[in-house]
Structure 1
Amino acid sequence: MSALLVTGVALLGAAAGWVAVPVGRLFVTVPAGGPPRRGALALVGAVVFGGLAAARGGDPALPALLLIAATGLVLAVTDLTTLRLPDPLVGLVAIGGGLGLAAATAATGEPRRLTVAVAGAAFSFIGYALLALLPRARLGFGDVKLAAALGLPLGWLGWPALRLGLLLPHVLAGVVVLVLLAAGRVRRDTPVPFGPAILGGAWLAAVLT
């Protein structure tokens, strides 16, 4: 994809980040002083969309990945501010992403990739469900459903992307929690949203593999 098109997609991502807070308010009550600054979210959206365009510019699944990324920005806002991952948004990731991947599969003529995508979603669901059932687990069922929904595009991209997408959220969350503990911002028993780590790990896996 040319630099001009990557820039255009990045600007689209900035717009998606700018509206993430007001869209999130349609699903949850976002505290007035709680949400991240819209300018910061616009910058994050530009990086997320631009990274996907640069890494996956020739991939027919790019439109599906951008839809998932746009919804993911809203999910990150709701989880950071209310510790909730609304089912309608997670459902949009699963259904909208699934339909987009089905179209991409038809374009490539590789039905096996869609089969692997479904297997990736099932594998992600089982893995996260087992983790959520462990004693003192910090994972909620919203995290489990989001991981399953993101397992679909990660599976479509291939097993390396799926493996990395399942591993990275735990690494990212661990680093963030350690930093927050060291800064005195949280205690060991403070609830910390895991959805942004799941989303960030999936994005990195899509960009790096």
Structure 2
Amino acid sequence: MLFGAAAGAFLPRIAYRLTVPFGAPPRAACDDCGRPFLPGAAGWVHTGPGYRPAIVLALLAGLLAAVLGPVPQLPVHLLAAVPGLLLVMIDLRCLRLPDRIVGALTLIGGIPLALLLPGRIVPALAAGLLVGAGYLVIALLPGRGLGLGDVKLGATLAFLLGFAGWPAVAVGFGTAHLLNGAIAAWLLVTRRGRPIPFGPALLFGFWVGVTAA
């Protein structure tokens, strides 16, 4: 939990700077006070107000540790939770899943799991390709039910869950679609028509799949 709280404390500034329209550069200054951010890494570091990500990541880290126990995969999932929560924060704010963060999640989770579980690389790749291809077909259909960011994130999460087995993949993506469907139904009933970010549901389903494996 200490790791989660410490890592989560650094996320608000990063999420704020990356919450911009597609193709736009990261924010260079604070919109509220107009003060420019410092150049280099210092401009991305901030541990002031913004306690919610720290609490969420601490709780998630504690849950992963309690459910998975002292297995070699635990540090991998703890590290992967950091870019995962960052993606949730950005997608909720501006319906974007930046490629660099999805790529970082893929590397942070995929490389260590491949080294720890080399015998499961083939099922993991198969899961990633299957989900990625299926989501790509949906994204190309009229109406654009999914964005390409959702396709890439879905493929990444399926790949990572594939190391835990096909049941974990089924649980993770089943949970994601049930959650997103429930949110869509609620918005329909309450007549609040708005785009629904799919990234948070995908990542919530991923964590459910990891803990249920």
User: TM-score band (shorter)?
Assistant: 0.7 to 0.9
Quote the offset at 1:97 in angstroms.
1.3
Residues 28, 86 of structure 1: 8 Å contact kept: no
CA deviation digits over 1:41-84, x for unaligned, max 9?
22221222112111222321222212221111110111011111
Amino acid at match of 2:59: V
In structure 1, distance between residues paired with 2:3 and 2:104: 19
Residue number among 128, 135, 142 corresponding to 2:142 in the alignment:
135
Q: CA 1:69/1:179 → structure 2, altered by over 3 Å: closer, same or farther?
A: same
In structure 2, distance between residues paired with 1:20 and 1:120: 30
Amino acid at match of 1:157: A
Write out aligned runs for 1:1-209 (5 A). 10-29=1-20, 38-105=50-117, 111-183=118-190, 186-187=192-193, 190-209=194-213
In structure 2, distance between residues paired with 1:70 and 1:53: 15
Residues 19, 93 of structure 2: 8 Å contact kept: no
Residues 63, 100 of structure 1: 8 Å contact kept: no
Quote the offset at 1:181 in angstroms.
4.2
In structure 1, distance between residues paired with 2:155 and 2:82: 17
Quote the offset at 1:32 in angstroms.
6.1
Of stretches 118-127 and 149-158 in structure 1, the one that deviates more from structure 2 is: 118-127
Q: Which structure's CA Rg is the greater one?
A: 2
How many residues get paired?
A: 189
Q: CA 1:15/1:179 → structure 2, altered by over 3 Å: closer, same or farther?
A: farther
Amino acid at match of 1:207: T
- Point out where structure 1 has 5 or more consecutive residues left out of the alignment: 1-9, 106-110
In structure 1, distance between residues paired with 2:173 and 2:119: 21
Q: CA 1:40/1:191 → structure 2, altered by over 3 Å: closer, same or farther?
A: same
Amino acid at match of 1:21: P
Q: Which one has the bigger helix percentage?
A: 1
Q: CA 1:20/1:102 → structure 2, altered by over 3 Å: closer, same or farther?
A: same
CA deviation digits over 1:85-114, x for unaligned, max 9?
111000001122111112322xxxxx3212
Q: CA 1:42/1:177 → structure 2, altered by over 3 Å: closer, same or farther?
A: farther
In structure 1, distance between residues paired with 2:210 and 2:128: 15
TM-score, length basis structure 1: 0.81
In structure 2, distance between residues paired with 1:192 and 1:19: 26
Amino acid at match of 1:167: G
- Point out where structure 2 has 5 or more consecutive residues left out of the alignment: 21-26, 33-48
Q: CA 1:177/1:43 → structure 2, altered by over 3 Å: closer, same or farther?
A: farther
Quote the offset at 1:116 in angstroms.
1.5
